[in-house]
């Protein structure tokens, strides 16, 4: 299902970033993670990127970093978003990522080696600009946690255990491996943000999927294989897109995307996210169980998740786990 991701994502991340400015960012000693593993370049295929052949623009993104927004911006810029809406109307539901992956012609995809200067793919491809959308690792960690709670660790933890079926280590670590429940909400009800981070650290990225892996890819760590433009969701996103537009002649526009999506059938396009009031509680949000977080009448911002003793531990864990993202995308730790 297509979503009005622009206003919702930008507004939500904007509110969080306002509360997590460089001056107010949590501080603790830095150290490298015990299990370093890079993420994939895109949500759909670790070996391909989106590509606008008419303007020579290469697009990258990562799960839980407003990837839907980036795909919608891309589809809108190449005048294919209306086709995605039509397809959604035809079959009742389709995600922008799946449309881009399965429905777009091959000319809109390019091997990820295009990022590497001098590679065979790069020499054969017209590239005027490349961009990747990323998010502040502190904020993205919260987004990953929320996703993993809503999906019971990307559907790895069953509501009803199956005899002789392998148990995912996260289910064991979170002590929910033997639970029998009616819904993911019940299954994850007692899990807290700090418990989830501790479990990720102990289990390691090798057992987890793209929704928890770092945003940075192994390829980006290779010499001469970086994106030209790193657009940070919580910064001046349109300003970054305008730089790409000026260089390539493309037309990435968050305003134009929102205008287009607002005109679509409400049964096809998800409704705009309605923000709750700002959280004013005194609790350490990192220690609140998932069921309590869902019941809150107000919405914690990023700094709330990293407040207090538990918040300091959460800060330390995020810095260790996502050190590669802090370093590669120049985020203040």
Q: How far is CA 17 from CA 140, 145, 205, in A?
A: 11, 17, 26
Quote the pLDDT of residue 50: 96
Alpha-carbon distance 90 to 76, whole Å?
Answer: 19
Structure tokens at 219: 């390829």
User: Hey, is 299 helix, strand or coil?
Assistant: strand
Mean per-residue pLDDT, 274-281:
69
**What's the confidence (pLDDT) of residue 3?**
42
What pLDDT does 274 receive? Answer: 54
pLDDT of 203 higher than 80: yes
* 202 and 33 Cβ atoms separated by less than 8 Å: no
Mean pLDDT of the 26-35 span: 39
Q: Are 156 and 170 contacting, i.e. CB atoms less than 8 angstroms apart? A: yes
> 64: helix, coil or strand?
coil
pLDDT higher than threshold 90 for residue 291: yes
pLDDT at 149: 96
- Confidence bin at 29 (pLDDT 50/70/90): very low
CA 39/CA 8 separation, integer angstroms = 25
3-state secondary structure of 271: coil
pLDDT confidence of residue 11:
45
pLDDT at residue 161 above 80? Answer: no
Estimate to the nearest angstrom the gap between the alpha carbon of 162 and the chain centroid. 31
With contact defined as beta carbons under 8 Å apart, do 92 and 84 qualify? no
pLDDT band, residue 159 (cuts 50/70/90)? confident
Which strand (E) or helix (H) includes residue 270?
Answer: strand 269-270
Task: Give the mean model confidence (pLDDT) for residues 169-198.
Answer: 92
Confidence of residue 5 (pLDDT cuts 50, 70, 90): very low
Whether 227 has a pLDDT exceeding 80, the answer reads: yes
**Does the pLDDT value for residue 224 go beyond 50?**
yes
Contacts of residue 3, defined as CB under 8 A and 6 or more positions apart, other chains included, come to 68, 72, 96, 261, 269, 270
Whether the predicted pLDDT of 93 surpasses 90: no
- Average pLDDT value for residue range 264-271: 50
pTM here is: 0.84
Mean pLDDT confidence for 253-281: 70
Instruction: Tell me which of 279 and 157 has the higher pLDDT.
Output: 157
Q: Reply yes or no on whether the pLDDT at 12 is more than 50.
A: no
DSSP for 254-297 reads: HHHHHHHHHTS-TTTEEPPP-PPEEP---S-GGGS-HHHHHH-S
**229-241 pLDDT per residue, tens:** 999 999 999 999 9
Strands, DSSP E only, in 55-152? 57-61, 109-111, 129-134
Residue predicted with more confidence, 295 or 30 = 295
Which pLDDT score, from 0 to 100, does residue 263 have?
82
Examine the pLDDT at 193 and tell me if it is beyond 90.
Answer: yes
Question: How far apart, in whole angstroms, are the C-alpha atoms of residue 265 and residue 241?
Answer: 27
Is the model more confident about 285 or about 26?
Answer: 285
Annotated domain spans of the chain: 2-328
Helical pair 67-77 and 5-19, crossing angle rounded to 10 deg: 140
Q: How many helices and strands (H and E) does the chain possess?
A: 16, 9
- In tens, the pLDDT along 36-77 reads 556 554 434 555 799 999 999 999 999 999 999 999 999 999
Name residue, tokens 């399965």: 102
d(CA 29, CA 7): 35
């Amino acid at each position: 299902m297509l979503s009005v991701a622009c206003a919702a994502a930008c507004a939500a991340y904007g509110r969080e970033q306002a509360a997590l400015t460089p001056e107010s960012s949590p501080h603790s000693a830095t150290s490298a993670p015990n299990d370093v593993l890079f993420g994939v370049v895109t949500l759909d295929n670790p070996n391909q990127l989106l590509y606008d052949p008419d303007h020579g623009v290469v697009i990258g993104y990562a799960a839980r970093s407003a990837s839907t927004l980036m795909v919608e911006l891309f589809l809108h810029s190449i005048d294919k978003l209306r086709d995605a809406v039509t397809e959604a109307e035809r079959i009742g539901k389709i995600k922008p990522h799946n449309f881009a992956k399965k429905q777009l012609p091959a000319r809109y995809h390019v091997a990820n080696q295009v990022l590497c200067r001098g590679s065979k793919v790069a020499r054969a491809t017209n590239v005027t600009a490349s961009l990747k959308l990323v998010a502040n690792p502190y904020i993205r960690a919260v987004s990953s946690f929320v996703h993993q709670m809503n999906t019971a660790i990307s559907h790895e933890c069953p509501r009803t255990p199956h005899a002789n079926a392998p148990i995912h280590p996260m289910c064991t670590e979170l002590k929910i491996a033997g639970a029998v429940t009616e819904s993911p909400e019940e299954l994850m009800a007692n899990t807290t943000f700090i418990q989830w981070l501790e479990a990720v650290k102990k289990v390691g990225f090798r057992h987890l999927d793209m929704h928890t892996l770092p945003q940075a890819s192994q390829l980006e760590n290779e010499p001469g294989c970086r994106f030209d433009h790193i657009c940070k969701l919580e910064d001046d996103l349109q300003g970054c897109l305008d730089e790409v537009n000026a260089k390539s002649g493309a037309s990435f526009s968050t305003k134009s995307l929102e205008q287009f999506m607002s005109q679509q059938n409400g049964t096809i396009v998800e409704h705009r996210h309605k923000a709750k009031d700002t959280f004013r509680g005194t609790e350490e949000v990192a220690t609140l169980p998932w069921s309590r977080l869902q019941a809150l009448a107000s919405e914690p911002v990023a700094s709330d998740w990293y407040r207090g003793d538990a918040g300091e531990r959460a800060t330390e864990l995020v810095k260790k786990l996502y050190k590669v993202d802090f370093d590669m995308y120049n985020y203040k730790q």
